[in-house]
Amino acid sequence: MIKLRGIKKDFGSGRSTNHALKGVDLDVEKGDFVAIMGSSGSGKSTLLSILGGMDRATSGEYYYDEIAVHELNSSRLDDFRINHISFVFQNFALMNQFSVMENAELPLLCKGVKRKERRRKTTEVLERLGIRELKDRTVSQISGGEQQRCAIARAFLSENQLVLCDEPTGALDKKNGVEIMKCLKEINEVGKTIIMVTHDDSIAAWAKHRYYMEDGQLNATKKE
Ligand SMILES: Nc1ncnc2c1ncn2[C@@H]1O[C@H](COP(=O)(O)OP(=O)(O)OP(=O)(O)O)[C@@H](O)[C@H]1O
Ligand SMILES: [Mg+2]
């Protein structure tokens, strides 16, 4: 489903150029659950931005199914992001002044699903993810972990295939971290493809495949 070849990303120019990605290759199959680990500043979030169509590689090729993402102009890249990607990021991608219900049901609203049906389906998913009782609170009135679950509920209800997660358990204690991972596993089991960045070995253990980002390069095993 995803094929990256020789992805490079430079920030800045001339002497101050920062080579954040130095030629990343990655293959991900539909339904995979991939964890990307690595130290701070190694390029993990940069890679997720490129995968999500939020940023472009400086060079290299990115294929998503039959789409040559690296060749898309910016309006096509926006369409690509809207139609294929769900984001589970901290402090990002939820509308703070709207309720949990309104945030989670957004993909159904966009598809034109009628209110009653929308509310029924969304309530069911909120129940599954254990945040049904929070449905009328705004995002600014719930905790970080609950916000992550709200973003996962929205990904669940979206037809978009690829779910990108940046430190989904980053700000959480162990128990809440495990709850988030159960939610992610659940959407993986209904067929979503997940690529998750994490610092935490016990969180990465939930994924089917693990990669290590080291100084702008992605390795299947950790270099000692
Ligand atoms: N917009 C930007 N402009 C300039 N440099 C950037 C920009 N974004 C990232 N970088 C640099 O690129 C490198 C990789 O950053 P990135 O955010 O991908 O790291 P990371 O692995 O996600 O780190 P962390 O674990 O701390 O989130 C870092 O050296 C960072 O300073
Ligand atoms: Mg990061």
Closest residue by Cα to atom 6, ligand 1, is 11
What lines the ligand 1 site, CB under 6 Å? 11, 18, 20, 38, 40-46
Among 16, 44, 47, name the best residue to mutate to test ligand 1's pocket (greatest count of ligand atoms within 8 A of Cβ). Answer: 44
23 Cα to the center of ligand 2, angstroms: 18
Domains plus CATH for the chain? 30-58+81-219 (3.40.50.300)
Q: What is the pLDDT of residues 173-192, one digit of tens each?
A: 888 889 889 989 999 999 99
Q: Please, what are the averages of pLDDT over each run of 10 residues along the chain (224 residues)?
A: 97 92 97 95 95 96 98 96 89 84 94 95 93 95 89 92 91 83 93 94 94 93 68
Q: What is the pLDDT of residues 141-152, one digit of tens each?
A: 998 888 989 999
Determine what percent of the chain falls in helix, strand and coil, rounding each to the nearest 5.
Answer: 40, 25, 30
Q: What is the predicted pLDDT for the residue at 223?
A: 65
pTM over 0.75: yes
Q: Are 28 and 2 in contact (CB under 8 A)?
A: yes
Among 16, 17, 39, 46, name the best residue to mutate to test ligand 1's pocket (greatest count of ligand atoms within 8 A of Cβ). Answer: 46
**3-state SS assignment for residue 34:** strand
Burial 153-190 (b: 16+ CB within 10 A, else e): bbbbbbebbbbbbbbbbbebeeebbebbbebbeebbee
